[in-house]
Structures are given as C-alpha cells and as structure tokens.
Amino acid sequence: MPTAEQQHLIDVLTRLIEVDPRVEAAWLAGSLGKGGGDEFSDVDLLLLVPENGAAAVSAALIEGLDRVTRPVLVN
C-alpha cells in the first residue's frame, strides 16, 4: 500500500497522464503495482504510447513533475 507521499505522486502523475492524448494506457508497475512496497519504494509507471512517441511523452512528464518533485530516472 502506498504511503501518503507516494499516493500524492501517483495522483499527480495520473492527472498529467490523463490530459496527454498520446498516452494510450498506463500501469502502476514495480513493487507498488504488485501491491507491495514500503516507504522507500519508488513509483514506477509503464505507459503505452505511439511508436516513436516515448521521448516526447517523457519530456512532457518531466516538465510537469518538475513542479512537484525531482524525477530520478525517466527511461
């Protein structure tokens, strides 16, 4: 179960993803997505985007996240 801080980040990410028409589907992945994790778990997302669209979607997410937190890794 996510902590309040992790849930806040998931909620922010959800709002950013919902308004981007290039995102066809999204999943919470990693330990939190499997229903596990702890207060040290990161928030992993898996997004389905059109072919060759990953870089642009990643850049848009980073821009939106910069207002809330500092992303550690966007791959």
pLDDT for the residue numbered 24: 97
pLDDT for the residue numbered 69: 80
* Of 58, 46, 41, 44, nearest in space to 5 by CA: 41
Collapsing DSSP states into helix, strand and coil, what is residue 55?
helix
CB 17 within 8 A of CB 26: yes
The pLDDT tens digits for 15-73 are 989 999 999 999 999 999 999 999 999 999 999 999 999 999 988 888 888 777 877 77
Domain-by-domain residue ranges, the chain? 4-65
